[in-house]
Amino acid sequence: AAEAERLRARLREARVSNPFVHFDPTVSEAAGWDPDGDGDADGSWPLAALDDQVQGAVKAVVLGVPAQSLPAGAVADLFSYRVLNVPVLSPSQLVEQLWERTPVHTEDHAWYLFDERLNAGSSVVYQGLKRQADALGALLGLVALAPVLLLTALAVALTSRGPVLYRQTRVGRWKKPFTLYKFRTMRADAEAAGARWASDGDPRVTAIGRLLRKSRVDELPQLWNVLVGQMSLVGPRPERPAFTERLERAIPYYDLRHLVRPGITGWAQVSYRYGASLDDAVAKLEYDIYYVKHASLVFDLRILARTVGVVLGLRGR
């Protein structure tokens, strides 16, 4: 199956050492990933030999077809492996466990409709606590960082022509547009030829703007967006409407990232390099969907802690 090949490619690229069995009843065999075994790393075994593999060093059984299409006999056989403490996973679940991202190119599309974890970020308790933490954090941040904000505004004003703050329409939760604020890091005429993604070494970025981007100080005015409830401290980064429309047409389920408030920082930002291509957008969306499925205050704190490391190491874009 195409999904199995994509999964194997990811495992080879990441040099994953844990062996697993990939089960596909439609071809009467189980394709295996056994990099530490004696056989071919991409070997396969007849289903009759699957028990021997599972009883060995195999850590999981990964389904090669959607669970609802499995014959009853296969379901019974696979259930018996769970008693042996061998989990039965979909390819998407395996990717989530190994890389903490949710693949969007999957053959099992139904889970997007029925997976209750997509409601994790909509929990009334979680949203209430997070909103209070966001408002308090934004207020304290604006007060504590006031000197940094003033010095940054002065530096931007003295080093390039144009406004200090850059205002831009972005797409928020439930696809509602809002005005995002950030310190201007590009020339005033940067988009005279139209909107386009920024890139590494972008010539439109000013000298001071490059430093602001690396330290992410340019994002600090968005504390105001957080304070008024348009954004959160943590969440998927909001995109511009023009880019959102383009990505919705090109990437399956792109809208899922709009189930939660956008954030100043997010799981994609601390887990993936800065990029400006469609492939980069797909990768970031996989991290964003994983965040939506696993949203919690503990996860938010983990992301904030990693963001501090990015800022201190000047590893921003």
Q: List pLDDT tens digits, range 53-72.
A: 555 556 677 776 677 777 77
Q: Is 284 in the same domain as 174?
A: yes
Same domain, 224 and 295: yes
Is the CB of residue 183 less than 8 Å from the CB of residue 153?
A: yes
**Is position 104 within any domain?**
no
Same domain, 133 and 190: yes
Same structural domain, 73 and 147: no
Question: Could you give the C-alpha distances from 118 to 135, 181, 221, 229, in angstroms and in order?
Answer: 24, 29, 30, 21
Buried b (16+ CB within 10 A) or exposed e, 35-56: eeeeeeebeebeeeebeebbee
Q: How far apart are CA 143 and CA 132, in angstroms?
A: 17
Query: How many residues make up the chain in this entry?
Result: 317
Residue 138 has pLDDT above 60, yes or no: yes
Query: CA 226 to CA 192: how far, in whole Å?
Result: 29
Q: 207 with 124, same domain?
A: yes
Same domain, 142 and 237: yes
Q: What is the dihedral of CA 27, 33, 39, 42, to 10 degrees?
A: 60
> In the chain, how many domains are there?
2
Residues 286, 166 share a domain: yes
Is the pLDDT at 85 greater than 60? The verdict is yes
Q: Using one digit for the tens of pLDDT, what is the confidence trace for 267-306?
A: 999 999 877 788 999 999 999 999 999 999 999 999 999 9
Q: What is the pTM of this model?
A: 0.82
Q: Is residue 254 part of a domain?
A: yes
Same domain? 170 vs 256:
yes
Instruction: Kindly state whether residue 298 falls inside one of the protein's structural domains.
Output: yes
Residues 10 and 95 in one domain: yes
Q: What is the pLDDT of residues 166-205, one digit of tens each?
A: 999 999 999 999 999 999 999 887 776 666 767 677 888 9
Residue 186 domain flag = yes
Alpha helices of 185-272 — where are they, by DSSP H?
Answer: 207-215, 222-227, 241-250, 267-271
Same domain, 89 and 127: no
H/E stretch holding 171: strand 165-171
Rounded CA separation 171/30 (Å): 44
Task: Determine the structural domain holding residue 72 and report its residue range.
Answer: 2-99
On whether residue 107 sits in a domain, the answer given is: no
